[in-house]
Amino acid sequence: MAIALQRALEKKVLIGGEWVESESGDRFEVRSPGDGSLIGTVPRCTGGDVKRAIAAAIEAQKVLARMSVKRRAELLWRAHEIAERRAEDDAVVLCREVGKTIREARDEIRTYSNPHFIEAAEGLKRFRGLINPSTQEDSLDKRLLITHEPIGVVGVISPWNWPADIPNIAVSHGLAAGNSVILKPASTTPFSAIAIAEIYQEAGFPAGSVSVLTGPGPTVGAELARNPGTNAISFTGETKTGESITAIAGIKRLLLEMGGNGPLVVMDDANLEAAVEAAIIGCFYLAGQVCTASERILLHDAIHDEFVDRLVARTKQLRVGDPLDEQTDMGPLNNRANADKVQAHLDDARARGGTFLLGGGSDGLYFEPTIVDGVTSDFLMAREETFGPVAPIMRFGSLDEAIELANETPYGLQGAAFTSSLRTAFLLGEGIRCGTVLINETNNYWDQLAPFGGMKKSGLGRELSDWILAELTEVKQISIDISKVKQ
């Protein structure tokens, strides 16, 4: 069943509670990676627009910081109601601008993005301070108040692969914590971020507390990072962009969620049927364009042949095509730059003698689900993030070798492993250097109330639930000597 397409969108940006054009007057087009059709146009903002948004955000933050916790939570609940009401329309726009399938787009809005409004509202109510007596022998009359204060203005710079869910983690929890937020979405997917700003505005958040600015990363994103008016940056994107933000941000709170090269380890005692399903989701969900994707499949020698046979058979069932078609399992890649990177990794694998068991071809932005056997540590796809629908197969003979292989990249976001031994599960869980290790689960699994983030070049800090509330607040200690106050 095909979904009726909407007419081209013409959106403005939100600054100080008003929907306005950029001071440049320029706009740029956004096209669907699925069929090249025009989705709409948005303003091409400048550094001057960023400065205006920051000035408004600083004033709005004073209003938010004085607002009661209950009132902030009520506004977030109202935002949730609005988001649920418009979820299907927003999913269609998201599907068109990312190129993910309509089923994946609905999943992003309903399963991941919309619950953040509630998680932030309820998390905020639990996120209280402490009062403790002093621990010092000579200070027993002192009481220590430990509180969480808003950090101020938070810049949120987000990627195209999850254009609603990812920014909304930081926006919802940032507002809950009493901060104002300025959102800069990826240029190929601005409409999902604009939808989020519309939701917060309709819910009644004070003017200026949420802004959205569209335009080039090196202009708009860099000004947000550099400007001393922002107190924290929540960035999600490529490691090299995160490194450039780190270089210009100066001393401010940085929450960095970056690239991955996640291993999926399959031991000789694993449930192979479950492990193959995990690989299908890990490698081909959103055409492999997920930071937590299974970027390397590490197989024990004893189960290699059976696993590979099953994986090839199962992958052949995937339907690649129009992302708006309800039957489609895998849509196109989002953009040419990413497609070029995937192609470079495939070319490198061919040149190094990798065995293509399936796929390897492409038509424009549509890539076939691909399985490459015989991958070794020198292949580009073993060393770097491919970000495409590719399952690179590597082999190992022992547990120690598996852990060594899993850890040999500079990334450390999310690792997964299959085993039926509890001892092996613990040794893998402890041995793999990733922010999350999932045993008997796909790499692409996320618990919404557990800490999420990367080690090594995958990130800095942890998001979701209380962990992101902690990242977006300042911890303050106030010490009161009660022996010196009047009765």
List 204, 218, 228, 397, residue binding ligand NDP (CB under 6 A): 218
Question: Is residue 260 a contact residue for ligand NDP (CB under 6 A)?
Answer: yes
Cβ proximity to ligand NDP: between 178 and 415 the closer is 415
Per the DSSP assignment, residues forming a β-bridge with 439 are: 417
Strand 355-358: give its sheet, edge to edge.
Answer: 355-358, 370-373, 390-396, 294-300, 262-266, 414-418, 436-439
Instruction: Pick the binder of ligand NDP from 22, 46, 113, 161 (CB under 6 A).
Output: 161
Q: Which of 45, 222, 393, 434 binds ligand NDP (CB under 6 A)?
A: 222
Contact 91, 113 (CB under 8 A): no
Annotated active-site residue 119? The verdict is no
Alpha carbon separation from 372 to 62, 143, 270, 312 (Å, rounded): 55, 63, 21, 10
Binding-site member from 192, 454, 461, 465 for ligand NDP (CB under 6 A) = 454
Single-letter residue type at 441 = E
412 φ, ψ to 5°? -160, 60
Q: Which residues contact 463 (CB under 8 A, 6 or more apart)?
A: 169, 170, 173, 234, 255, 257, 451, 452, 453, 471
| Cβ at position 398, least distance to ligand NDP in Å | 30
Q: Interface with ligand NDP includes 432 (CB under 6 A)? A: no
Does position 457 bind ligand NDP by CB under 6 A?
A: no
Catalytic residue among 97, 223, 257, 441: 257
Rounded to a whole number, what is the largest CA-CA distance in the chain? 83
Q: How far is CA 263 from CA 246, 350, 379, 388, 442, in A?
A: 27, 21, 15, 15, 10
Of 98, 170, 245, 403, the residue at the interface with ligand NDP (CB under 6 A) is: 245
Q: Any catalytic annotation for residue 291?
A: yes
Choose between 369 and 454: whose C-beta lies nearer to ligand NDP.
454
Where does this chain touch ligand NDP (CB under 6 A) — which range of 84-92, 138-146, 191-199, 235-243? 235-243
Nearer to ligand NDP, 82 or 98 (CB): 98
Task: State yes or no: residue 109 binds ligand NDP (CB under 6 A).
Answer: no
Give dist(CA 415, CA 254) in Å, integer: 24
By CB under 6 A, residue 385 contacts ligand NDP? yes
**Minimum Å distance from CB 419 to ligand NDP?**
25
Give the residue carrying structure tokens 């052949």: 316
Which positions are annotated as active-site residues?
A: 257, 291
**Site residues, ligand NDP (CB under 6 A):** 157-162, 166, 184-187, 216-218, 221-222, 225, 236-238, 241, 244-245, 257-260, 291, 385, 387, 413, 454, 458-459
